[in-house]
């Protein structure tokens, strides 16, 4: 689990204007959005230059002098005001670009016009994964170190795979669409191929460029007729952990399987109910029956440690010494993983855990709304407080961008109505204070140490990209200006920051924390 948020997708979204994967935007749509944005101006916070002296004065003012190489002048006359381009970034590609994700080893996946592409870390020329991708029939995934695609309308077919180790290959000739389970920081992965029944699939394990690989589990139920057989797949340090019903056996179980095809290594829990939560070391997991949850060693040995009644969610601290969990009755508790018999009662009435600090001291959760749609209240509780009184950060219609790497701050966003932009805030979890970063923020990106967002500039009808470091939130940094307000997205990949929109792809050095 990422310690900054229980839902990593939230760190990279929060669109106030939905970006669209198209080369052109109609004048009618653009006029509608820009008219709405015109009611809001960018904030008046003091800014510092990025990079120093490049495009922005260093005294915190917004007035560019005639001597400023980036000040408006004759060179800007040729710029098309209806299609602005960033002022500072290094342009890598001229195309309609839509950013899609980043692999765990730092490679950027994106669409350039209709082509699915990857920009390898440190490279300036992208690699084409799929030419002429069709949104209505084709699908893709960015998981672990891999970018995968399936073409056509069939539910089963070849998997096109890219990784830095293999390049573009056909990973297997026949796979179940959108099944890819990466193994942590390695080039190994698992996937499903069709089984002997339409209700079952075969689970294979392989590595990038190594072909179809080894059959690990045959005929694993898809859970379509019986939800208790709903399957889950995880890698442990030396095996595959699989939950579900196998073959003709309708009794679900959680078990580890030999990666070499040798069958079951250890039955972790027979008669299991859906729900498996691994610790960070992938050596123990919270599993459950319909009535009881427990912590169990995955490789065998040792007795199961009873945790509580059945639960909806669980998340471990960074050192795996604590686990925070949400019971089926809405109670939030924290327990020691070594001896969880006396948990701390943190809150009641929760519907979903939202985020956890690395040390599991602070837990953010929702009590109402639809958290999966980034639309809920945000409540935070401190496990070290004597009364453990929850604190409401946002009453409704909010979402969590993440917890800082230090675990001291929580970043959250509350959209306006209509949700074109909104208020971006940072809560200091230890002190209970909240700082408003921007009241007109769009498209928030947070890596745990540096917070990026966009704002609409009324006078120019373009967006500006801003940032603050968690270590110095009083200084708002202007990263770049003249960004297309409808289609600009931002992603962080390793030491680089990337901006993509309908005019191209740009790179920047990511801000040091």
Q: Which two tokens stand for residue 493?
A: 């990949």
Answer yes or no: is pLDDT of 24 > 80.
Answer: no
- Selection from 308, 284, 286 nearest residue 298 by Cα: 284
Least confident of 61-75, 95-109, 272-286, 401-415: 61-75
Name the strands in the sheet holding 200-207, side by side, starting at the edge strand that comes first in the sequence. Answer: 181-182, 188-194, 200-207, 214-221
**Which residue is listed with tokens 């509580």?**
308
pTM score, whole prediction: 0.84
Cα atoms found within 13 Å of the Cα of residue 88, Cβ hemisphere only: 21
Nearest to 87 by CA among 99, 79, 95: 79
Could you report the per-residue pLDDT of 453-504, keeping only the tens digit for each? Answer: 999 999 999 999 999 999 999 999 999 999 999 999 999 999 999 999 999 9
Q: Model confidence over 53-87: pLDDT tens digits? A: 233 222 233 332 323 333 233 343 344 445 678 88
CA distances from 215 to 127, 244, 253, 482 (A): 31, 17, 19, 53
Confidence grade of residue 184 (pLDDT, cut at 50, 70, 90): confident
Q: Which one-letter DSSP state was computed for residue 121?
A: T
Q: What span, in angstroms and rounded, lies between the C-alpha atoms of 344 and 492?
A: 37
CA atoms within 13 A on the CB side of 372: 1
- In sequence order, the 6+-apart residues with CB closer than 8 A to the CB of 303 are none
Per the CB < 8 A criterion, the answer to whether 279 and 316 are in contact is yes
Alpha-helical regions (H) of 248-330: none
Where do the domains of the chain lie? Answer: 1-104+351-513
pLDDT, one tens digit per residue, over 233-277 is 999 999 999 999 999 999 999 999 999 999 999 999 999 999 999
Strands 472-483 and 462-469 turn out to be antiparallel
What pLDDT band is residue 388 in, cutting at 50, 70 and 90?
low
φ and ψ at residue 225, rounded to 5 degrees: -95, -25
284 touches 295 (CB < 8 A): yes
Confidence tier at 301 by pLDDT (50, 70, 90): confident
| HSE-up (13 A, CA, CB side) for residue 456 | 22
| pLDDT for 189 | 97
């Amino acid at each position: 689990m990422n310690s900054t948020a229980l839902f990593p997708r939230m760190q990279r979204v929060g669109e106030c204007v939905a970006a669209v994967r198209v080369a052109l935007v109609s004048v009618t749509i653009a006029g509608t959005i820009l008219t709405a944005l015109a009611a809001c101006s960018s904030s008046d916070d003091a800014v510092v230059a990025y990079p120093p002296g490049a495009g922005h004065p260093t005294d915190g003012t917004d007035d560019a002098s005639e001597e400023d190489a980036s000040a408006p002048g004759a060179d800007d006359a040729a710029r098309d005001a209806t299609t602005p381009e960033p002022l500072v970034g290094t342009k890598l590609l001229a195309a309609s670009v839509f950013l899609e994700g980043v692999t765990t080893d730092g490679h950027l996946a994106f669409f350039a016009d209709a082509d699915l592409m990857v920009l390898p870390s440190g490279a300036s020329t992208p690699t084409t994964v799929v030419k002429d991708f069709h949104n209505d029939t084709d699908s893709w995934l960015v998981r672990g170190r891999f970018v995968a695609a399936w073409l056509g309308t069939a539910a089963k077919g070849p998997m096109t795979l890219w990784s830095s180790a293999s390049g573009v290959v056909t990973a297997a000739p026949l796979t179940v669409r959108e099944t890819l389970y990466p193994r942590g920081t390695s080039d190994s992965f698992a996937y499903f191929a069709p089984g002997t029944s339409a209700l079952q699939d075969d689970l294979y394990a392989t590595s990038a460029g190594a072909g179809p690989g080894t059959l690990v589990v045959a005929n694993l139920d898809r859970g379509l007729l019986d939800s208790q057989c709903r399957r889950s797949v995880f890698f442990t340090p030396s095996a595959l952990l699989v939950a579900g019903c196998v073959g003709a056996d309708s009794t679900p179980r959680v078990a580890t399987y030999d990666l070499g095809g040798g069958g079951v290594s250890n039955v972790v829990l027979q008669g299991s109910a859906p729900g498996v939560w691994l610790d960070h070391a992938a050596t123990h997991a919270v599993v459950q029956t319909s009535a009881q949850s427990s912590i169990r060693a995955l490789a065998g040995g040792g007795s199961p440690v009873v945790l509580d009644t059945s639960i909806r969610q669980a998340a471990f601290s960074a050192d795996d010494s604590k686990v925070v969990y949400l019971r089926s009755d809405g109670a939030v508790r924290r327990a020691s993983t070594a001896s969880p018999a006396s948990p701390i009662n943190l809150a009641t009435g929760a519907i979903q855990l939202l985020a956890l600090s690395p040390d599991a001291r602070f837990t953010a959760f929702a009590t109402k709304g639809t958290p999966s749609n980034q639309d809920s209240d945000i409540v935070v509780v401190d496990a070290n407080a004597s009364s453990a009184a929850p604190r409401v950060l946002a009453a409704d219609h909010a979402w969590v961008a993440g917890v800082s790497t230090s675990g001291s701050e929580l970043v959250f966003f509350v959209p306006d109505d209509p949700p074109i932009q909104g208020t971006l805030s940072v809560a200091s979890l230890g002190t209970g204070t909240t700082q408003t970063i921007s009241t007109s923020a769009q498209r928030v990106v947070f890596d745990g140490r540096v917070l990026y967002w966009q704002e609409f500039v009324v006078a120019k009808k373009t967006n500006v990209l801003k940032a603050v470091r968690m270590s110095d939130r009083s200084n708002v940094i202007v990263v770049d200006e003249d960004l297309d307000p409808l289609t600009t997205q931002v992603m962080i990949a390793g030491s680089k920051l990337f901006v993509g929109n309908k005019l191209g792809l740009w790179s920047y050095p990511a801000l040091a924390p």
